[in-house]
Structure 1
Amino acid sequence: MSVFETGQTVVRRDVHRSGRVWSEQALRVVADTSEVLVAACVHGAEARWPALYAKARDDGDRSVRTEAFEAMAAGEWELAAAVWQETDLLLWKPPATWFSVNAFFVPEGDGRRLRNWYVNFEHPAHRTEAGFDTFDLTVDLVVTPDLTRWEWKDEDDYAHVRRLGIVSDTEPGPWTPPATRCWR
C-alpha cells in the first residue's frame, strides 16, 4: 500500500464499472495509516462532476439529477469543472470498507462549527498514484453533531439507481432504506 504524505493533494474519483470517471474531488491528506486515510476538502477546492449533476445542483432542480443517473446508466455523460461549496469536509476512509465517515463544517464567527456527520456508502477504496478510486452507492446517513439522531439521505436516488442497474444486489451494505425519511 502506498502511503500519502500529510499535506499532499490527492484525488478521490468515483469510477463507474465501465471504467469511466463519474466525478473527481481534490482532497488534502491529513493522515494516512494502515487503519485509515483522513483527508480534508475546503470550500473552493477543485472538482469535476457530471455536467447534468452540476446543473441540478446549480439550478436546485432534483429532476435533472435523475437525468444524470439515467445518463450514467446509458454510459453517456460529460464531466464539468466544479468547485466544492458551502462546507469544509473532513473524510475518514478505512481500507476495505463500503463506506466513509465525513464531518461537514460551516463557518461560524472566526471559526467553524460541525454541521453534521455523514456516512457515505461507497465501494472500498482502490489506491492510485494520484489518490483513490471508489464509487458512491448514492444512499447516505446524515447524523447530528451530537450523534443522537440520524436520517437516511437520497433513498429515492438509491431506489432509482437500483432500478437502472447502476447499483446491484451483489454490492454489500448494511442499509435497507426506509420508504420515508425520518429522524430516529
Structure 2
Amino acid sequence: MGDTVAQVEALRTGGDAVRKQGLDDLAAGTWTLGPHHWERTAVLSHYLAGEWFSVHCFRDAGTGEPICWYVNFELPHRRRDGGIDTMDLALDLVVIPDLAGHHFKDCDEYSRLRRLGVFDDCLDRQVQQARSRAITMLDNSTGPFGAGWPTWAPDPAWPLPLLPDGADRAAEPLAPYRP
C-alpha cells in the first residue's frame, strides 16, 4: 500500500508539522509515494460505483472487536489491473459501531487544501453533496449501513493473495473532475 512520504512520517512520529508539509507538497505537486504497512486493525472496505466516498469497517486485528465505521471522501474510484485508483479528499466521517454517533475528521486539512487550490469550487460542491448522501445513508441505515456491522471475514485458511505483476506501477493520473 502506498502513501505519501510525509503521511507515513506523520504516522510514525505523530508530527503535525510533517502532515501540514505533506499538504503543501500535494498542492505543489512535489509529493512522492512511500511504502506503508497496514497494522493494528483489520478493515473491510465498501466502494460504491460512481460515489464520492467509500465506507470502511475497522476492527481490532487481534480481537476482531468493532472499532468504527469510517467514511472516506474521495474521487469516484476507477478500477485497473491490480486494484483501484482514487484520490483521497482529506475529509472523513468517523462513526461509532452502533451508528448512534459520528464526527467529521480532518476538516482543517480539507480547508487547507481548498485554500491551496487543490480542490476548487466544483469539487467542493461534489464533496458537500457526498457529505449529505453519506449522512442520509447513516441516518436511514441504508447502503453499507443497512445491515448492521458486517460480519464477513476471509477464511483464515486462505492463502495470502499476491498482487499481479505491475500492480506497483503508477497508474494513469486521475484527471481533474469536471461535471
TM-score normalised to the size of structure 2? 0.68
The answer for unaligned runs of 5 or more in structure 2 is: 133-179
Query: How far did 1:82 drift?
Result: 1.4
- Tell me the percent identity: 36
- Partners of 1:161 and 1:69 lie apart in 2 by 7
Q: Does 1:67 align with 2:21?
A: yes
Residue in structure 2 matched with residue 27 of structure 1 by the alignment: none
Query: How far did 1:126 drift?
Result: 1.1
* Residue-pair matches, total: 128
Q: Structure 1 residue aligned with 2:54, among 74, 90, 100?
A: 100
Query: How far did 1:72 drift?
Result: 1.0
Equivalent positions of 1:50-129 (< 5 A) are 50-107=4-61, 111-129=63-81
Structure with the larger strand share: 1
Q: Structure 2 residue aligned with 1:165, among 101, 108, 117?
A: 117
- Partners of 2:71 and 2:6 lie apart in 1 by 24
RMSD between superposed Cα atoms in Å: 1.4
The answer for unaligned runs of 5 or more in structure 1 is: 1-46, 177-184
- Partners of 2:117 and 2:23 lie apart in 1 by 10
- Partners of 2:89 and 2:56 lie apart in 1 by 15
- Partners of 1:51 and 1:107 lie apart in 2 by 25
Equivalent positions of 1:6-45 (< 5 A) are none
Counterpart of 1:149 in structure 2: which amino acid? G
Query: How far did 1:55 drift?
Result: 0.8
Q: Structure 1 residue aligned with 2:105, among 145, 153, 161?
A: 153
- Partners of 1:122 and 1:86 lie apart in 2 by 23
- Partners of 2:22 and 2:43 lie apart in 1 by 24
Q: What SS does the aligned partner of 1:119 have? A: strand
- Partners of 2:34 and 2:92 lie apart in 1 by 24
Q: What SS does the aligned partner of 1:71 have? A: helix
Which entry has the higher C-alpha Rg, 1 or 2?
2
Counterpart of 1:65 in structure 2: which amino acid? R
Q: Which runs of 4+ in 1 moved over 6 A?
A: none
1:89-132 CA-partner distances (Å, limit 9, x unpaired):
11000110011011000045xx4011000111111111112211
Counterpart of 1:49 in structure 2: which amino acid? D
Counterpart of 2:22 in structure 1: which amino acid? A
Counterpart of 1:88 in structure 2: which amino acid? A
Structure with the larger helix share: 2
TM-score normalised to the size of structure 1? 0.66
